[in-house]
Chain A
Amino acid sequence: MTTQTTPLWEVFIRPRNGLAHRHCGSLHAADAEMALQAARDVYTRRGEGTSIWVVPSAEITASDPKDKDALFEPTAEKIYRHPTFYDIPDEVGHM
């Protein structure tokens, strides 16, 4: 099977106890319906999922690894964005 007839798809599974779909891998399939089926068979064999998304890998726009410094370096020194300086009252519970 060539990648032309069975392009690559990215698979996102919503775990049993999780709220958001998480990327869990990729697979080859002829179209969206077959990709969903294959995702079920490949990635939910141990009862992991309650919902599946499949997205053509070609449709994903990714950041360039070369831009890593420009994109992510500037946040390194902004430690005040991590709200670790505050005491959270017990009544608030889990945040």
Chain B
Amino acid sequence: MKEELFELLLRLADDQLVLGHRVSEWCGHAPTLEEDLALPNIALDLIGQARSLYTYAGEIEGKGRDEDQLAYLRLEHDYHNLLLVERPNGDFAQTILRQLYFSVFMHAWWREATKSKDETLAAIAAKAVKEAIYHVRHAAEWTIRLGDGTEESARRMADAVNELYRFTGELFETDEVTDKLAAAGIVPDPASLRDEWDRTIAEIFAEAQLEMPDPETWQHKGGRKGVHGEEMGFLLADLQYMQRAYPGMTW
């Protein structure tokens, strides 16, 4: 079970780190000053969650790796994050929608994980769930205003819906790791969160005047096995540069 728990913590940490990094790319570039503070706020929440998860993963692994080694010193293939979170920021609509798809899922996931039989994970979840509630709120309010906004904002939002929907199937993917841990009451079964996600997204899209994408849309897979899109290498180059260039540096 230790091996599975390590793998799952790593996946979860990679999701938060990679999305946190993506969102942080907006720092200094957001469309308004208000969003220039709001987006890095969200990025910092995500990176904070990643830190707790990496630290715990390192303890479970028991090989003396700390959060920095796990975050910065692995190769692309060893990152097991969802493809959704590594998607480039695109325009503001795509950034917001990526956050909505992910945060609606994570909110349900963290909420269920507060009941985990693993006390450390339950404690991390108790803190993260509060942050996730705000991430959903921020993304949902923007989705509604942009979807039901001007002609241009509605078009950009609709494009984002279709561009990103094909990366959402992975959220609910199950395998031996999730099955074993879910059966032991350590993590929620991701597939069990599908109905709630569909419902929440449908409610928000209805208010935003956005059409739900075709549920039969072909879905990308591979993130959990370390098979990434071509953008991932560039992301890691940016993320890992300092630790690679100056190993062990701190400030």
Which residues of A does B touch, CB under 8 Å? Answer: 1, 6, 27-31, 33-34, 37-38, 40-42, 45
Chain B hits for A29, CB < 8 A: 34
Q: How many A-B residue pairs have CB under 8 A?
A: 32
User: Which residues, 22 to 57 on B, are CB-close (under 8 Å) to A?
Assistant: 31-35, 37-38, 41
Chain B hits for A31, CB < 8 A: 145
Q: A28-B34, A41-B38 are in contact. List 15 more A-B contacts (CB 8 A).
A: A1-B31, A6-B32, A27-B33, A29-B34, A30-B145, A31-B145, A33-B141, A37-B138, A37-B141, A38-B34, A38-B38, A42-B34, A42-B38, A45-B37, A45-B41
Contact of B34 among A33, A41, A45 (CB under 8 A): A41
Chain A hits for B220, CB < 8 A: none
- How many chain B residues have a CB neighbour from A under 8 Å? 13
Which residues of B does A touch, CB under 8 Å? Answer: 31-35, 37-38, 41, 134, 137-138, 141, 145
A30 to chain B, nearest CB (A): 6
B58 to chain A, nearest CB (A): 29
Chain A hits for B37, CB < 8 A: 41-42, 45
Q: List 8 A-B contacts (CB under 8 A).
A: A31-B145, A33-B141, A37-B137, A37-B138, A41-B41, A42-B34, A42-B37, A42-B38
